[in-house]
Amino acid sequence: MAYRKLSRRAFSAAMAAALVVGAPVAAAAEQVVDSIHFLIPGGAGGGWDGTAR
């Protein structure tokens, strides 16, 4: 029983350490979008959604 308790504690400690080490790396990898460009086709006789007006 003591072995199982020790392994559970070791596993919990390893997961906590992985979270502490991995969280800043994941936050740094986040990409930020500066601008978004929409390309909307509009031809003669049709609006942006393609319907004739």
pLDDT digits (tens, 9 = 90+) for 10-33: 888 888 887 777 766 666 666 788
Could you tell me the residue ranges of all domains in the chain?
1-30
pLDDT of residue 4: 66
Q: Which pTM does this prediction carry?
A: 0.40
Question: How far, in Å, are 3, 26, 37, 41 from residue 46 at the CA level?
Answer: 74, 45, 21, 9
pLDDT of residue 17: 84
Q: Which percentage of the chain shows pLDDT scores above 90?
A: 0
**Quick one: residue 50, left, alpha or beta (phi over 0 = left, psi -120 to 50 = alpha)?**
left
